[in-house]
């Protein structure tokens, strides 16, 4: 059985020209890319996506950062997609991430940490729906 997760290559990843390297690592880790696009979120869209964090000290900075430049949301497919992707990207703070993880290798700070990954199957479904329609994904299977 295949599962899905959402990844977002964040503005710092694109600004630093790392998107190709990160996508290559994702593919080498056994993920199939079901859908992807390059977008630039408005502040309101970033606030909507990160609504679960509203009221937390990092919320304002996070939504400003995520709307500061283009990013690439991707729908990824693999057995145990969420769990395995969280392992591949590493800890939120790149200083605490294990060697060889995406955040350890490409992030510059806890906020500018190169990539987002869903934290549960339930949230993956919600997050994927924020950026992609079911019909778009089916067309790419």
For the annotated catalytic residues, the residue numbers are: 116
CA angle, 136 then 72 then 40, to 5°: 100
The H or E element that residue 33 is part of is strand 32-36
Helices 81-89 and 121-131: crossing angle in degrees, nearest 10, is 80
- 7, 67, 91, 129, 135 from 87: Cα distances, Å: 13, 26, 8, 23, 29
Strand partners, 39: 71
Cβ atoms within 10 Å of 50's Cβ, excluding its own: 17
């Amino acid at each position: 059985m295949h599962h899905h997760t959402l990844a977002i290559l964040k503005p710092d990843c694109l600004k630093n020209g790392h998107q190709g390297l990160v996508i290559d690592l994702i593919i080498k880790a056994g993920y199939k890319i079901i859908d992807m696009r390059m977008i630039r979120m408005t502040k309101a869209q970033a606030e909507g996506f990160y609504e679960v964090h509203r009221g937390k000290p990092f919320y304002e900075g996070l939504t400003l950062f995520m709307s500061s430049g283009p990013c690439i949301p991707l729908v990824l497919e693999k057995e145990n997609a969420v769990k395995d992707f969280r392992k591949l990207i590493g800890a939120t703070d790149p200083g605490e991430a294990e060697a060889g993880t995406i955040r350890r290798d490409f992030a510059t700070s806890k906020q500018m940490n190169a990539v987002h990954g869903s934290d549960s199957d339930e949230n993956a479904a919600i997050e994927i729906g924020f950026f992609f329609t079911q019909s778009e994904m089916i067309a790419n299977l």
